């Protein structure tokens, strides 16, 4: 592949093919799980050649990562959280969207497969952390930093802990299926995290 000598049409075809492969990988892992996911099956589902996949990715794990990256790019759009100046409203928008996505049957299977591999394989977990989790966390911290500058958050707030406090309850409820991933739950998490658990005026 010498992309620099490729005509525009061929580039567009490549990009279409790349996206078809990633979408196929994402669908399939949700259907069969990671251990049964194969390059053959991805190629068949995408209507692409096995050699095309091997030319672009060294392993099925690499394909799957790019599939999740494509998804997370779609999600974050401009790679920033909304910033209307109202932190609570913005966080509710983001947590509601996250809750909705975690409840979506199209995402549930692939995300369970990914999390099983993360639990199972420390190397894949480290790769996930570097390529997906930390960049996503940075985007979230950026919004919190802007709120700190505006005086809406404590200046000495540990932003890593703050992000965990906001997002981990959704993860836990999804993992253990311990309650509905409703907009109401998302809102209560944001309100409780922002205001704290102490009585008003106390603490």
**Binding span for a second copy by CB under 8 A among 23-31, 49-57, 65-73, 131-139:** 131-139
Find the binding residues for a second copy in span 16-75 (CB under 8 A). 33
CA distance 140 to 162: 10
CA distances (Å), origin 177, targets 86, 96, 169, 174 = 31, 17, 11, 5
- How many other CB atoms are found less than 10 A from the CB of residue 155? 7
CA distances (Å), origin 67, targets 30, 47, 145 = 12, 16, 29
| Residue 195 token pair | 């205001």
Q: Is 193 in the site for a second copy (CB under 8 A)?
A: yes
User: Which of 72, 125, 127, 145 contacts a second copy by CB under 8 A?
Assistant: 125
User: Which of 48, 164, 182, 183 contacts a second copy by CB under 8 A?
Assistant: 164
Q: Which is nearer to a second copy, 70 or 165 (CB)?
A: 165
| Residue 194 token pair | 């922002």
Q: Which is nearer to a second copy, 20 or 164 (CB)?
A: 164
| Residue 189 token pair | 């998490």
**Binding span for a second copy by CB under 8 A among 17-25, 70-78, 97-105, 185-193:** 185-193
CA distance 132 to 155: 27
Q: Is 123 in the site for a second copy (CB under 8 A)?
A: no
- How many other CB atoms are found less than 10 A from the CB of residue 6? 13
| Positions that interact with a second copy (CB under 8 A) | 33, 112, 115-116, 118-120, 122, 125-126, 128-129, 133-134, 137, 151-155, 157-158, 160-162, 164-165, 167-169, 171-173, 175-179, 185, 188-189, 192-200, 202-203
């Amino acid at each position: 592949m010498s992309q620099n000598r490729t005509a525009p049409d061929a580039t567009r075809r490549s990009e279409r093919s790349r996206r078809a492969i990633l979408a196929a990988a994402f669908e399939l892992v949700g259907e069969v799980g990671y251990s049964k996911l194969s390059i053959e099956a991805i190629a068949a589902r995408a209507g692409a050649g096995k050699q095309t996949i091997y030319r672009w990715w060294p392993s099925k794990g690499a394909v799957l990562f790019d599939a999740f990256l494509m998804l997370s790019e779609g999600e974050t759009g401009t790679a920033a959280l909304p910033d209307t100046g109202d932190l609570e409203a913005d966080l509710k928008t983001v947590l509601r969207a996250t809750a909705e996505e975690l409840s979506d049957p199209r995402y549930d299977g692939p995300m369970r497969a990914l999390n099983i591999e993360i639990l199972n394989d420390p190397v894949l977990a480290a790769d996930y952390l570097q390529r997906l989790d930390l960049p996503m966390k940075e985007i979230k911290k950026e919004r919190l930093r802007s709120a700190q500058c505006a005086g809406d958050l404590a200046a000495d707030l540990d932003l890593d802990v703050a992000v965990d406090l906001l997002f981990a309850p959704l993860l836990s409820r999804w993992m253990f299926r311990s309650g509905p991933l409703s907009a109401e739950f998302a809102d209560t998490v944001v309100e409780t995290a922002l205001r704290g658990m102490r009585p008003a005026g106390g603490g």
